[in-house]
């Protein structure tokens, strides 16, 4: 990979002159600049972002903390952030905190050392004191708190919608999966579903699932059919767990959707390819990421924020794990 020294040699100038040219710092004669640009193109030289940021005391680096990109929901978030940032000339450094406090704190420190000029965090610990003392702007994404600019989807409405669709399509022995209670996203959708089921005067069981992840999904699916073998409708805490329930339902011989209806939450790309394809509540993850990036860029540019907390709507995606149409009894 070409270095700044290679560019200087090819252009026949000093390294300092090349550095001034690529960082727009100090005078460079127009003819010299053309020689340098030509050398950069021919050598396909890419400036080192960290070195640039140290020289400029202002980088174009943005930090993004995610819980775990092995859950397909988070790459959708990240792609929305990256596309918006890239369009404005910023570059992303991504870290997986694995929902561990010490890893999250470590990434915050790493981003500071790498001279980032902004941070977006799909944090699991939004109230961390480290977020209060940052020297650069912050936006919380998906898992948020009232204290900082944030973007999330309307999880409460999503929980109500999932419950309403299941009841309207004829389920009466419903099992509601309560996701990891430490996350606001899980609490919101659970409360929405509970409120809807109470208002519909429908009895239901609750099973707590302490994780959203693939690693534990099969365990929750087996536990569900051991505890509630007669359930005819499941509101899952997310699509990953819903996929495991589909897999286990096949194994125990449950016909879907005739004997068992399932509604997930997220609408990750794979959900459309499951068999039967998963009906779910769609969170606009890509748009959430882009909105978070827009909020951060406004802060970096010193612009006033019309709104500090952006909530995007969710929608029911009907596929084949729910029966067609309304079944008002």
* Residues lying near ligand RIB in the complex (CB under 6 A): 71, 73, 142-143, 183, 185, 212, 238, 240, 265-266
Name the residue nearer to ligand RIB (CB basis): 19 or 155.
Answer: 155
Contact between 62 and 93 (Cβ < 8 Å):
yes
Closest CB 144 distance from ligand RIB, rounded Å: 10
Q: How far apart are alpha carbons 21 and 18 in whole angstroms?
A: 5
Closest of 248, 255, 201 to residue 232, by C-alpha: 255
Name the residue nearer to ligand RIB (CB basis): 142 or 232.
Answer: 142
Q: What are the backbone angles phi and psi of residue 218, rounded to the nearest 5°?
A: -65, -35
Q: Distances from the Cα of 212 to the Cαs of 39, 44, 118, 168, in angstroms?
A: 50, 43, 28, 27
Token pair recorded at residue 101: 């406090």
Closest CB 38 distance from ligand RIB, rounded Å: 48
Name the residue nearer to ligand RIB (CB basis): 232 or 266.
Answer: 266
Name the residue nearer to ligand RIB (CB basis): 116 or 285.
Answer: 285
* 106 Cβ neighbours under 8 A, 6+ residues apart: none
Closest CB 73 distance from ligand RIB, rounded Å: 4
Name the residue nearer to ligand RIB (CB basis): 185 or 231.
Answer: 185
Closest CB 44 distance from ligand RIB, rounded Å: 39
Token pair recorded at residue 266: 């997220």
Closest CB 159 distance from ligand RIB, rounded Å: 11
């Amino acid at each position: 990979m070409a270095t700044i020294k290679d560019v200087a040699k090819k252009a026949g100038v000093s390294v300092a002159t090349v550095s001034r040219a690529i960082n727009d710092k100090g005078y460079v004669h127009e003819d010299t600049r053309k020689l340098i640009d030509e050398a950069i193109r021919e050598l396909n030289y890419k400036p080192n972002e960290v070195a640039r940021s140290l020289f400029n005391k202002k980088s174009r680096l943005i930090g993004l903390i995610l819980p775990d990109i092995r859950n397909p929901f988070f790459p959708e978030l990240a792609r929305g952030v990256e596309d918006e940032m890239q369009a404005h000339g910023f570059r992303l450094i991504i870290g997986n905190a694995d929902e561990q406090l010490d890893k999250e704190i470590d990434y915050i420190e790493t981003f500071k050392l790498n001279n980032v000029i902004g941070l977006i965090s799909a944090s699991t610990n939004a109230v961390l004191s480290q977020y209060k003392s940052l020297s650069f702007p912050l936006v919380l994404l998906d898992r948020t708190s009232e204290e900082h600019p944030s973007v999330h989807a309307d999880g409460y409405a999503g929980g109500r919608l999932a419950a309403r669709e299941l009841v309207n399509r004829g389920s009466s022995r419903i099992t509601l999966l309560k996701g990891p209670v430490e996350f606001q996203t899980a609490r919101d959708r659970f409360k929405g579903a509970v409120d809807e089921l109470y208002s519909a005067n429908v009895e239901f069981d609750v099973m707590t699932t302490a994780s959203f992840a693939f690693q534990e999904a099969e365990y929750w699916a087996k536990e569900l059919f051991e505890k509630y073998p007669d359930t005819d409708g499941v509101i899952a805490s997310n699509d990953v767990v819903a996929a495991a329930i589909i897999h286990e339902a096949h194994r125990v011989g449950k016909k879907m959707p005739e004997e068992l209806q399932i509604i997930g939450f997220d609408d990750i790309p794979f959900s459309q390819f499951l068999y039967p394809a998963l009906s779910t509540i769609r969170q606009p993850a890509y748009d959430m990421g882009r909105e978070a990036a827009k909020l951060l860029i406004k802060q970096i540019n010193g612009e006033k924020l019309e709104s500090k907390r952006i909530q995007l709507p969710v929608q029911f995606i009907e596929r084949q794990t729910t029966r067609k149409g309304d079944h008002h009894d």
